[in-house]
Amino acid sequence: MDRILKAARASGSLNLSNRSLREIPDEVYANLEAVGEGEKWWEAVELHKLILAHNSIEVLKEDLRNLPQLTVLNISHNKLTHLPQAVGQLHLLKLLDVSFNSLVDIPEEIGSATSLVKFDCSNNKLKELPCSLGKCLNMLDFKASNNSIICLPEDLMNWFKLTKLDMEGNKLTTLSDKMVASWGRLTELNASKNLLDNIPESIGNLSGLIRLDLHQNKISNIPSSIGGCSILAEFYMGNNRLSSLPAEIGELSHLGTFDLHSNQLKEFPVDACKLRLSVLDLSNNSLSGLPAEIGNMTTLRRLLLVGNPMRSLRSSLVSGPTPTLLRYLRSRLSAEEEAGSATSVKEDTIVRATRLSISSKELSLQNLGLTVVPSEVWESNDITKLDLSKNSIENVPVELSSCSTLQVLILSRNKITEWPSAIFKSLPNLTCLKLDNNPLKQIPADGLSPLQNLQTLDLSGNTIMLPQLSSLRQLQELHLRRMQLREVPTDVLILHQLRILDLSQNCLQSVPEGIKSLTCLNELDLSDNNISSLPPELGFLEPNLQALRVDGNPLRSIRRAILDRGTKAILNYLKDKLPEN
């Protein structure tokens, strides 16, 4: 022990985990006072990191105040029933882990530890949380799962920086609407295994939410505001009381996993068939049939239907392979629906859209069968958003050159073959450009250079050589699926602001180690490629990377059991493969 304490006085870090300790040695609390002969007292440093996990410690003394420089304190997996008030005097403490103890309360003094960034008090015997926690304004990650907490103090509305909240396995009956609205930076919310009977309307304010787990509650409906969770990738609502789904579910364009098992659903809405899901669990509901449009959900890898009173589908289809079921459902679509024939252009539709654009500054003419844009729609040249998707337009209208205020331009699913370089030079404020699923012949090497403010770019479905991307330093979303790419473009690796990168349905055989430089990534889609192994460096992207999709690859280096456990398990596995240095 003396040797370990001596090393701690030199490094400022002390690890006494897994030592069968029943109490903390007094020398730990008075580390600097125990400087022995032969030690240079002037070189000794105060403890800033103290690990006491996996022991049998019953008491943490008030002498803890003698360690004011602590930034990390881990005393998880012990036998504590109380925390000392002195924890509030650790003003530099950033990480506190007291999980897996027998704590019955958290002292109010915790509110004075205002530097706290991460606090884990899960797996204890807590019935409430102190209001003073709301004073910890830097809180990013809070975990209090598997306790008996009935409600959250309103003071937690002050956690404006919160990104992760885990309250699984408590007795919460409600989540305050105002509180949820204040957590605008939340990326992960787990309130599963509680007694919640509703989802607050303000859930729609969480535009950065990536993972939402509310399974095993008493929730009877999902609010229409859910459409505001625009980058939600995983949504778990199994074991609730849902009887229907809102149409707005179809707006969750990034949703990959949707768990609805063990509810009371009688139908699956056609609007939700627009989703690009990988996993859809509808088992143990009250479904008697499925909309044929589900057959068009070609990204679906697992569709679970067992435990439903299906009348319109043979049992062999219900329990058989998902691709077989999807093919059958597609065959039931009428020829007109299959071809996706465009709605005929109606003059009153165009007139209404044009009038609306004068006040809203947004013009939407999607899916009207247009081959050219009627000249009368350009009554206002200060529009900020133009949607011309799902038409048959062959040339980008030259009138766009006068729309210098344009910020969002959606040209998806048209017949555009030529890159409009001259027009783009007149659009300095463009932040979103979608040209996916067009028969573009080529893009000039410097074709994207004028668009330096772009934050979203979608070129999916164009089999062209990519132009230089290095000028797009503000880019946050990049979609390059189904472009026959054989390698990850090197330019992508310097786009350090990227949050979403979609490289699915290509011919990639490997992922470069340089992917670790994309530290802001929240979502990475590598599905449906030829990748046989993943670089351990991907592990560096944890915990920011919340959704990693690798299904549809011949991965041999990672066991199926790990892949099935999802993003966190894969990243932790890869991180463990990194060299220790």
Read off the pTM: 0.61
Distance separating alpha carbons of residues 96 and 80, to the nearest angstrom: 14
Average pLDDT over residues 218-240: 95
Contact between residue 323 and residue 300 where contact means Cβ atoms under 8 Å apart = no
What single-letter DSSP state applies at residue 38?
T
DSSP code string of 447-463: TTTT-TT-SEEE-TT--
Phi and psi at 27, nearest 5°, equal: -65, -25
With a cut of 70, say whether residue 340 has pLDDT above it. no
Of 442, 424, 444, nearest in space to 433 by CA: 424
Average pLDDT over residues 407-434: 92
With a cut of 50, say whether residue 339 has pLDDT above it. no
Beta strands in 373-481 (DSSP E): 385-387, 408-410, 432-434, 456-458, 477-479
The pairs formed by 480-483 with CB atoms below 8 angstroms and a separation of 24 or more are 480/506, 481/505, 481/506, 481/525, 482/506, 483/459
Of 491, 499, 493, 459, nearest in space to 475 by CA: 499
Average pLDDT over residues 222-237: 95
- Give the sign of the dihedral formed by CA 218, CA 210, CA 123, CA 91: negative
Per the omega criterion (within 30 degrees of 0), is the bond before 543 cis? yes
Contact between residue 223 and residue 203 where contact means Cβ atoms under 8 Å apart = yes
Q: What pLDDT is stored for residue 39 in this prediction?
A: 56
Distance separating alpha carbons of residues 154 and 88, to the nearest angstrom: 20
**Burial zone of 225 (CB within 10 Å; 0-12 exposed, 13-18 middle, 19+ buried):** middle
Question: What residues contact residue 146 under an 8 Å CB cut-off, 6+ apart?
Answer: 122, 123, 124, 168, 169, 170
Q: What is the pLDDT of residues 233-272, one digit of tens each?
A: 999 999 999 999 999 999 999 999 999 999 999 999 998 9
Distance separating alpha carbons of residues 219 and 260, to the nearest angstrom: 12
Distance separating alpha carbons of residues 10 and 450, to the nearest angstrom: 55
The token pair that represents 152 in the structure block? 């959250």
Q: What is the pLDDT of residues 347-390, one digit of tens each?
A: 666 777 776 666 778 888 888 888 888 877 776 678 899 999 99
Q: How many CA atoms lie within 13 A of 171 on its CB side?
A: 9
Lowest mean pLDDT among 52-66, 234-248, 563-577: 563-577
Average pLDDT over residues 504-522: 93
With a cut of 70, say whether residue 36 has pLDDT above it. no
Distance separating alpha carbons of residues 158 and 118, to the nearest angstrom: 15
Q: What pLDDT is stored for residue 43 in this prediction?
A: 60
Q: What pLDDT is stored for residue 341 in this prediction?
A: 40
Question: What residues contact residue 317 under an 8 Å CB cut-off, 6+ apart?
Answer: 324, 325, 328
Q: Which domains does the chain have, with CATH numbers?
A: 1-125 (3.80.10.10), 344-454 (3.80.10.10), 476-580 (3.80.10.10)
**Burial zone of 157 (CB within 10 Å; 0-12 exposed, 13-18 middle, 19+ buried):** middle
pLDDT cut 90: percent of the chain above it: 66
Q: In what order do the strands lie in the sheet with 385-387?
A: 362-364, 385-387, 408-410, 432-434, 456-458, 477-479, 500-502, 523-525, 547-549
- Band of the pLDDT at 44, cuts 50, 70, 90? low
With a cut of 70, say whether residue 337 has pLDDT above it. no
DSSP code string of 235-255: EE--SS------GGGGG-TT-
Distance separating alpha carbons of residues 56 and 72, to the nearest angstrom: 20
